[in-house]
Amino acid sequence: MTRVLITGSAGHLGEAPTRVLRGHGYEVVGLDVLASPGTDVVGSITERTLVRDWPGWVSAVLGVPALLDAVPR
């Protein structure tokens, strides 16, 4: 099974590949700083405790760009 990590899974651009890849049988882990139906892990790729173990369990990473002004501060 191919496991794909998608960053920005809560956004408009990240939601689509998350949904499509899951529909095609991929195991998708959605990561975003905002909770959403497509987000499995709420956090940031800048958090070392979240990312240090990824190479062992993720086959691919899809980084979806975000608009920083859209994130509440």
pLDDT score of 4? 92
Q: What is the mean pLDDT of the chain?
A: 84
Question: CATH class for domain 3-65?
Answer: alpha beta
Strand partners, 29: 5
**For residues 60 and 64, what is the distance between their CA atoms, to the nearest angstrom?**
13
By mean pLDDT, which of 4-8, 45-49, 51-55 is the weakest?
Answer: 51-55
60-63 sheet: strands from edge to edge: 41-42, 27-32, 3-7, 60-63
Portion of the chain with pLDDT greater than 90, in percent: 45
Torsion-angle region of 11 (φ positive above 0: left; ψ -120 to 50: alpha; else: beta): beta
